[in-house]
């Protein structure tokens, strides 16, 4: 073992010290804020830790040499975005000196106005609780005002390289009410599926259903849908320790071409059942194809004896018109 001793007056070697610090396995975060002109600013950082639950506090260290240092220390708020295993490119973008970092990510305002990366593993939206001067860095202590998380595997970092983290979710860790919201997105006679990065296909999923014309799915892609043709299709569990599924049926507005590689439209006759991630999803897709071909859909609700399907007859109509017809 290499030992560096500062018991004498000899200075600590900063390069060796940095390498030693780097043996501590961390996650990777992108910290974000807005400068005095309202322009979003962000940088990659792994010097992050929780501080307190009551009040809810966390901290991150910002180098004084960083171009966005003054923005972070003066803004009064910031967000911590913990990256998942599929966001290596995001980490690299925000570690660079690029001027258009936010053009490649989907972000939103949640509570304080600091940009929150909507596809991150976990985000914390904070007001600045305190700023502590610490050598060539400043320690930003933030009070959490809002946060969100997902079951995706985290992006790790050690010895100057990205690291893989296995088994990120032990049994029982995720609350049972954390439903995954999936979408059966139609475009003509084709259906949109998303690669899970492990050779399988899954449904595009989102953090929450929004009854408007644009849906931001996990991965950051924004899809334009026909809002009046989005309907609940299926509700089911995969396992007691895993989140359940809420699945909606929707229709794409516009063309179904020129999509990134992790998103692909399949014809109904060529759905890749052998590479669908779970048995439950395969069963649901087979039912969807049968009902799509028959032009008559049902709503599936999970139950102990195999579930129930309630069939829906007739075309969808506006509620106001339907209620007026019933009153005649």
200 with 75, same domain: the answer is: no
Report the alpha-carbon distance of residue 306 to residue 271 in Å, rounded: 24
Rounded to the nearest 5 degrees, what angle is found at the Cα of 241, between the Cα atoms of 239 and 242? 65
Do 62 and 48 contact (CB within 8 A), yes or no? no
Residues 147 and 210 grouped into a single domain: no
Q: What CATH number is given to the structural domain containing 133? A: 2.30.110.10
Rounded CA separation 299/281 (Å): 15
Q: Are 301 and 308 in contact (CB under 8 A)?
A: yes
Q: Is residue 172 part of a domain?
A: no
Q: Are residues 131 and 217 in the same domain?
A: no
Shared-domain flag, residues 41 and 140: yes
Looking at residue 318, its pLDDT comes to 62
Q: In terms of domains, do 212 and 305 share one?
A: yes
Q: Are residues 192 and 292 in the same domain?
A: yes
Distances (CA, A) of 228 to 4, 212, 218: 67, 9, 22
User: Tell me, what CATH number does 295's domain have?
Assistant: 3.90.79.10
Q: What range defines the domain where residue 222 resides?
A: 180-314
Shared domain for 220 and 267, answered yes or no, is yes
Considering 164, 195, 217, which residue would you say is the last residue of a domain? 164
Tokens, residue 126 = 């904070």
Rg (CA), the chain: 24
Sign of CA dihedral 184, 185, 190, 193: negative
Answer with the one of 103, 138, 164 that is the final residue of a domain: 164
Q: Are residues 60 and 150 in the same domain?
A: yes
Residue 122, beta-bridge partner list:
82, 149
Which of these, 235, 225, 183, 222, lies nearest to 205 by C-alpha position? 183
Domain boundary among 138, 164, 190: 164
The number of domains in the chain is: 2
Helix, strand or coil, per DSSP, at residue 110? coil
- Residues of the chain whose pLDDT is less than 70? 1-10, 22-24, 166-179, 207-213, 218-220, 238-243, 256, 303-306, 313-328
């Amino acid at each position: 073992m290499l030992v560096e001793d500062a018991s004498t007056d000899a200075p600590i070697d900063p390069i060796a010290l940095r390498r030693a610090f780097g043996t501590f396995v961390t996650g990777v975060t992108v910290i974000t804020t807005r400068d005095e002109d309202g322009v979003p600013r962000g940088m990659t950082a792994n010097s992050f830790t929780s501080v307190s639950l009551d009040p809810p506090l966390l901290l991150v260290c910002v180098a004084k040499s960083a171009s966005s240092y003054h923005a972070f220390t003066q803004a009064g708020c910031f967000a911590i975005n913990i990256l998942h295993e599929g966001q290596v490119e995001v980490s690299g973008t925000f570690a660079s000196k690029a001027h258009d970092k936010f053009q490649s990510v989907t972000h939103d305002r949640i509570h304080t106005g600091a940009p929150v990366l909507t596809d991150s593993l976990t985000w914390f939206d904070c007001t600045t609780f305190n700023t502590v001067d610490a050598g060539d860095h400043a320690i930003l202590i933030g009070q959490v005002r809002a946060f969100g998380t997902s079951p995706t595997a985290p992006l790790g970092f050690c010895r100057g390289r990205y690291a893989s983290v296995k088994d990120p979710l032990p049994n029982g860790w995720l609350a049972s009410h954390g439903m995954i919201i999936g979408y059966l997105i139609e475009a003509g006679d084709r259906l949109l599926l998303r690669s899970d990065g492990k050779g399988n296909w899954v449904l595009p999923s989102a953090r929450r259903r929004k009854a408007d014309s644009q849906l931001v799915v996990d991965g950051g892609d924004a899809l334009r849908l026909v809002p009046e043709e989005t309907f609940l299709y299926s509700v089911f569990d995969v396992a007691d320790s895993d989140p359940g599924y809420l699945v909606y049926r929707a229709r794409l507005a516009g063309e179904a071409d020129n999509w990134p590689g992790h998103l692909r439209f399949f014809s109904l006759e060529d759905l890749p059942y052998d590479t669908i991630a779970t048995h439950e999803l395969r069963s649901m897709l087979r039912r969807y194809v049968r009902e799509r071909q028959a032009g008559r859909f049902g709503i599936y609700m999970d139950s102990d004896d195999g579930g129930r399907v309630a069939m829906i007859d007739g075309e969808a109509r506006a509620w106001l018109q339907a209620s007026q017809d019933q009153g005649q």
